[in-house]
Amino acid sequence: MTSKDRKSLVREYVAAFNRGDVEGVCRCFAPNAVVYGVLGWGGVAKARPIWEQLVNCFQMKLQIESIAAEEEIVAVRYTERGKFVRSYQGVEPTGKPYEMVAVEWFEIEDGGIARRWGARDSATMFRQMGIPLT
C-alpha cells in the first residue's frame, strides 16, 4: 500500500464512525488487530462495545484536522464532537454537547489496521456533558 492508500483506509475508518457504522469501523481492521485506548486494550471484539457506546450514547463525530503517513504509520489529529443522548453506565443523558482534540496513531499491515492507539481527554468530555467524574 502507498501512503495515500493508508490514509484512505484511515479516512474510511473515520467515515464509518461518522455514519454510526460500527461494523464498517471493524472492517477496517486486520483479523488480529490490537486496539489501545483510554479504557484499556485488546482485539476488535473488545473495542467494539466501546465504539458502540461512543456512537449510540454520545453521537461521536470526528473531523480530521491533520493526517500524516510515513511507511506503515498514519497519525491523525481530530476535532471530536458529540452530544450525550442516551444513558451511559447508569447516567441519564443530559443532552449537552462536547468538543475536544483527539489523536490516533495507526499501524497498517496487509491492507488493514493492525494496531491503533487513541488519546483523548475523557475528563474534559465528561465535564462538558455533565457526567460525574468518579
Average the pLDDT over 75-100 and give the result: 96
66 is a domain residue: yes
10 is a domain residue: yes
Looking at the 3D structure of the chain, how many domains does it have? 1
pTM of the model: 0.93
Q: Which domain holds residue 28?
A: 3-129
How confident is residue 115, by pLDDT bands cut at 50, 70 and 90? Answer: very high
Average the pLDDT over 100-123 and give the result: 95
105 is a domain residue: yes
CB-neighbour burial class of residue 125 (10 A; exposed 0-12, middle 13-18, buried 19+): buried
56 is a domain residue: yes
Residue 99: which CATH number?
3.10.450.50
30 is a domain residue: yes
134 is a domain residue: no
Secondary structure E strands in the chain:
29-37, 40-42, 61-70, 73-83, 97-109, 112-120
How confident is residue 122, by pLDDT bands cut at 50, 70 and 90? Answer: confident
